[in-house]
A and B are shown apart, each in its own frame.
Chain A
Amino acid sequence: MTHPSSGADTAARTASPESGRHGRARFRGLRAASLLLAPVILVAACSSSGSGSSSDGSAAAGQTSAAACAPTGGKVSLQFWTWVPGMDAVVAKWNAANPDIQVTVKNTPAGNAGTYQNMFNSLKAGTAPDLGQVEYDTLSSFRLQNGLKDISGCPGVAQAKSTFVDWSWAQAQVGGPGVYAVPQDTGPMALFYRKDIFDANGIKVPATWDEYAAAAAKLKAKGIYITHFPQQDANWFNGLLWQSGAKLFETTGDSVKVSLTDPKAQQVATYWQKLIDDKLVATNLQGFSPDLYKAWNDGKVATWVSAAWGYSTIRDNAKATSGKWAVAPMPQWTAGEKAAGNWGGSTTAVLASSKHPAEAAKFALWLNSDQAALALANDKGGLYPANKDGLELPALTQGVPFYGNQKIFDTFKEASANVDTNFTWGPIMTDTNRFLSDGFTKALNGQGTLNEALQSAQTQTVSALKAQGISVAQ
């Protein structure tokens, strides 16, 4: 299934491996191709086989307390599923130095392109890998299926907490006292903008969202859109909500409170709805689409509020604009503040069925803390580390040629420090994001608004939570 699909994917979007890793770029093409091969009934039936047996071994394993986590000793071999390009090279480094803990890498499609589904299924079948790549917003979904091992009791884990960017560790805890994954990379957000276009038109780099809207109007007069509104990238919008300080989900006791219509979220929605209504943003350019790249190359779209990893998306897909882009902090809701959102990033999770959680945790910690490993992962896979020391990598402190030798990662480093640590994902973000994207469609073609998209995602998320047997607080 992988081969035809990755081929189709390449043809579809010629996305950089870096953006593909984040599960958005590759997601749609891959899904299209791989599912063509399997009738839906079969998919539903196969993947559900065994889902009735929630009381089997793997599920019970997820429940084990934090305390028991000692190395099993002897020669151990671990399976690791990941879609980060070049991860096999990093793992080879580990294997050479650790003859007793040998790790085998399996390269998979991006998580939402089918790998999460495979992980869920293999968890139920008891054939899951020891370690898997899991994005922050999906950790909860794994916990819902009892798919993650609590590694808080494993040697070295508790001490590692302070070495990771605060919010990333908080999210790896998935709300509980336990620790369910080791943060790998993050996507602190900033503003990529066409310095040449802004300069030529005498537009100041927007420091606030009001200035951003004013700049949008000036650019539109020149026939340029300030940005595109990507219908499929719900997590991009979530990054904007994250920056605004919106509290979308809250766990109280045994129930979840869903507040997608939080006043701050409404403020963000109203703001972008106005840009859409005034036709100041491109509404027909899908995120990571060849269309978008063409518009970038042609100078028809002048900014992108995006994550640290986005630097390579622009670099690899808008080659004609080399030297013309620059990076500035995200525009602010209140002038003078430094709030930043986050878009993407993932963790190395120890899956519930692992028989060697201590060794797996040891490897995960090394993978995401060791400077040589981080440097290699950054070089080959474009990872922007979640490890605080990793932010000092030589590659992240130098000027980047494509951006006129601006030291763009200084901006991202500052953003990383200003990402709200209290932001909480909902338990079923795959669903919530799908509902948001569906609502965006209506807003983009004038049949609804972004505020209605929030409202509809709210209603649908509540019923989807109930369908998963989760009680919802009003």
Chain B
Amino acid sequence: MATSLDAAAPSTSERVRRRRPWIWFMLPFLVPFVLFYLVPIAYAIYQSLFKIERTGGIFGTTQQVFAGLSQYTAVFTDETFRQGVLRVLLFGVVQVPVMLGIALVTALLLDSAVARLKRFFRIAFFVPYGIPGVIAALMWAFLYSPQLSPIVALLDKIGTAPDFLGSNLILWSIANVTTWTYTGYNMLIIFAALQALPQEIFEASRIDGAGGIRTAFSIKIPLVLPALVLTTVFSIIGTLQLFTEPVVFQTISTNVTSGYTPNMQAYAVAASNNYSFSAALSVVLAVATFILSFGFLRLTQRRGEAL
């Protein structure tokens, strides 16, 4: 290829040569990105525009026919989907602030001068994130189980144990698992941002007579706001994609339905060969995630400009 180009047009080959390093460095990213990211998304969108038509009776031949946006109409009128979306939104509104609050406080504590054993705690908080989601969910499922959990048994002795897997509490039991898993990860991002702040500011604030708490509120938190925004966006995405924990809890609780979260519904529908509806569900979910995440980013940016 290159030789024929050389022969034909030297100027072009020069340009190609200059461009080449860029291409070679990008390829390891671009090829998988296109193959495993863009193509499936494009295919999901394409797939969502069709529906199944059958000729020759129940066991006749099927055909995919173009159906416009009818699958999307079905998604938006689907009661299971509506409930699933409301459930994850409720989950996110409560769980994300709680988790990030804890992450921020622990990061500030670790960053403060009084903290001892910083390295140990930094790793200790991060460990839950290193445990595979399924394993973590299984472990918690046992801790919640009314029959097997030592904690429930203990609570039973001192009074009444809450039914962690009952219909009222299970969503918050799941929230507890995700909080346990991801707090350390988010803490680490905020902590890294804190560590990157120049020390002179703190010296100045100390000279001005600000104590630890005042410094935290007036200087540290405003300065790590970008990190908080980032972790919030990640958390919103994670919330909408809630899947592993509720699926694992299905094995032990009688309160998790097949469409408990939108992601679970998309999976269940795909498993019963209704790919178009599943694709439409997935696309709607992806768009909703995109809108929420970028909406939040825009919101915080605009506020930043106003300040």
Contact = CB atoms under 8 A, between A and B. Distances in A.
Interface in B141-187: 141-142, 145-148, 163, 165-167
A243 interface: no
A418 interface: no
Q: Which of A42, A112, A146, A298 has the most CB of B within 10 A?
A: A42
A32 B137 contact: yes
A13 B250 CA distance: 12
B77 to A, nearest CB: 10
Contacts of A40: 241, 243, 263, 266-267, 270, 278, 282, 285
A214 interface: no
Contacts, number: 208
A48 B43 contact: yes
Interface in A215-254: 229-232, 251, 253-254
B247 A31 contact: yes
A54 B137 contact: no
B268 A144 contact: no
B286 interface: yes
B251 A12 contact: yes
Given A290-B252, A430-B271, A45 B258 contact: no
B279 to A, nearest CB: 5
Given A44-B279, A291-B147, A467 B64 contact: no
A428 interface: yes
A59 B61 contact: yes
Contact of A469 (B52, B166, B266): B52
A468 B245 CA distance: 30
A470 B56 CA distance: 10
B273 A145 contact: yes
B257 A438 contact: yes
A440 B258 CA distance: 11
Given A8-B135, A286-B252, A438-B259, A464 B274 contact: yes
B101 interface: no
A120 interface: yes
B216 interface: no
Given A8-B138, A40-B243, A43-B267, A32 B52 contact: no
Contacts of B274: 464, 467-468
A33 B134 contact: yes
B148 A294 contact: yes
Interface in B89-138: 132-135, 137-138
A463 to B, nearest CB: 9
Nearest to B42: A45
A145 B59 CA distance: 8
Interface stretch (A342-350, A378-386, A404-412, A441-449): A441-449
B257 A441 contact: yes
A12 B274 CA distance: 29
Interface in A427-474: 427-428, 430-431, 434, 437-438, 440-441, 444-447, 464, 467-470
A52 B167 CA distance: 40
Contact of A468 (B138, B142, B273): B273
A284 B273 contact: no
A35 B267 contact: yes
Contacts of B282: 40-41, 44
Interface in B266-307: 266-268, 270-279, 282-283, 285-286
Contact of A290 (B74, B148, B271, B273): B148
A291 B62 CA distance: 44
Given A291-B148, A437-B257, A468 B54 contact: yes
Q: Which of B141, B244, B271, B282 has the most CB of A within 10 A?
A: B271
B81 interface: no
A285 interface: yes
A29 B248 contact: yes
A441 B255 contact: yes
Interface residues of B, number: 71
Contact of A254 (B50, B58, B257, B263): B58
B53 interface: yes
A398 interface: no
Contacts of A464: 272, 274
B161 to A, nearest CB: 12
Contact of B251 (A13, A49, A55, A438): A13
A256 interface: yes
A49 B43 contact: yes
A194 interface: no
A437 B254 CA distance: 9
A12 B270 contact: no
Contacts of A431: 272
B169 to A, nearest CB: 11
A54 B61 contact: yes
B58 A144 contact: yes
A288 B257 CA distance: 17
B47 interface: yes
B135 to A, nearest CB: 7
B61 A146 contact: yes
B220 interface: no
A141 to B, nearest CB: 7
Interface in A29-81: 29, 31-33, 35-36, 39-49, 51-52, 54-55, 59, 63
Given A11-B138, A35-B243, A441 B252 contact: no
Interface in A112-126: 112, 116-117, 120
Given A36-B132, A437-B257, A470 B58 contact: yes
B290 to A, nearest CB: 12
Contacts of A32: 134, 137, 244, 247-248, 250-251
Contact of A48 (B41, B53, B257, B279): B279
A394 interface: no
Contacts of B163: 284
Nearest to B71: A467
A428 B269 CA distance: 12
Contacts of B133: 36
B129 to A, nearest CB: 15
A289 B252 contact: yes
A41 B259 contact: no
Contacts of B271: 112, 116-117, 430
B245 to A, nearest CB: 9
A295 interface: yes
Interface string B33-66: 0001001110110010011111001111111100
A468 B52 contact: yes
Given A35-B247, A143-B59, A464-B274, 11 more contacts: A8-B134, A33-B134, A40-B243, A44-B282, A48-B43, A51-B64, A144-B59, A176-B59, A445-B167, A447-B167, A469-B52
18 contacts: A12-B252, A31-B247, A40-B266, A40-B267, A41-B41, A48-B270, A51-B275, A52-B64, A144-B58, A145-B62, A176-B59, A231-B254, A232-B254, A254-B58, A291-B146, A445-B254, A467-B51, A468-B54
